[in-house]
Amino acid sequence: MRGFVVPPGYVALSESGVEGAALASLEAPLREALAEGTFYEYAEHHPEAEPLTGRGIAYAVPLPTGERVVVRRSRHGGLLGSIRDDKFLGATRAPRELEMSLTLRRLGVSTPEIVAYATYPAGPMFRRADVVSREVPRSRDLAAALGALARGDSKRSLLESTGKLLESLSVAGARHPDLNIKNVLIADNDFGGVEAFVLDVDRVWLDRAGAEAVLAANLRRLSRSAVKWRRLQGLPIEEADLLAIESTARELITLAQ
């Protein structure tokens, strides 16, 4: 693939205009899914597909051998999204998303495992891309988790897990320019608690590990998103909750030093 080395443990997908990579251990079912034309077409038409809302619709589906994955079509955000939608110049951001996901996981940041991506021709100079990640069981985004709370329910576990995620991003030096409450995934663990995962890491970039500026930038982005959702959707998240997230992150950073 042009300008991208397939990571260890992955194999190249390259046929009939398709370029991508697949986890070697899932190569056979992923190639079978891709035979539908695109990963997204496979997911969209699957009888067991579960639609997930976000920037466009993603689908949670089983692969032909039963492993559950989430298939997402890469899309532009903001003004560019209204012009180009899912068309990207060149190789798209999918190769970098896989590379960054692997880096973040290696640095101790919880993010779903990407098992494949594929890009396809979309007219002269443009391509579309699908990213396939392993489904995190019993999960929902932070907005959905907060919105599902009944009056009087404690937010503590949600706030603490989000704070821990911000701490891990800070320790890794990872700046997420699109860190919003839809890009924080909350999953129940096997011990009665929850864990937070970060999503959509294609635009994440690495700054100095442990830098105060990294934590501050990620907090600002998450806080802006929370305030917007509170104003437009009535989401039950207050300034005290955002301060609790920051406090947890800072306490964990101090303990790690």
Predicted local confidence at residue 228, as pLDDT: 95
Structural domains of the chain sorted by starting position, each given as residue range(s) with its CATH number in brackets: 10-134 (3.30.200), 139-256 (1.10.510.10)
The pLDDT score that the predictor gives to residue 84 is: 65
Per-residue confidence (pLDDT) for residue 82, from 0 to 100:
42
Task: Look at the block and give the residue holding tokens 């907060």.
Answer: 146
The residue ranges of DSSP E strands in 102-200, in sequence order, are 114-121, 126-134, 139-141, 174-175, 184-188, 194-198
Q: Are strands 205-206 and 50-54 parallel, antiparallel or unpaired?
A: unpaired
Which contiguous run of DSSP H or E holds residue 217?
helix 212-233
Q: Which of 83, 113, 77, 95 is nearest to 12 (CA)?
A: 95
Average pLDDT, the chain: 92
- In this prediction, residue 1 carries a pLDDT of 46
Distance CA 178, CA 209 (A): 19
Between CA 49 and CA 41 the distance in angstroms is 11
Where does residue 192 fall: left (phi above 0), alpha (psi -120 to 50 degrees), or beta otherwise?
left
Most confident of 1-5, 24-28, 50-54, 153-157: 24-28
Confidence of residue 150 (pLDDT cuts 50, 70, 90): confident
* Of 112, 22, 10, nearest in space to 70 by CA: 112
Using CA atoms, how far apart are residues 48 and 66, in angstroms rounded to an integer? Answer: 11
For residue 2, pLDDT over 60 is answered with no
Q: Is the pLDDT of residue 173 over 80?
A: yes
Of residues 257 and 121, more confidently modeled: 121
Residue-level pLDDT at 153: 84
15 falls in which pLDDT band (50, 70, 90)?
confident
The closest alpha carbon to 183, from 155, 202, 168, belongs to 202
Q: How many CB atoms lie within 10 A of CB 34?
A: 23
Cα–Cα dist 223/221, whole Å: 5
User: Taking residues 55-64, what's their average pLDDT?
Assistant: 91
State the Rg of the chain over Cα.
Answer: 19
Query: Which token pair is 57?
Result: 């619709």
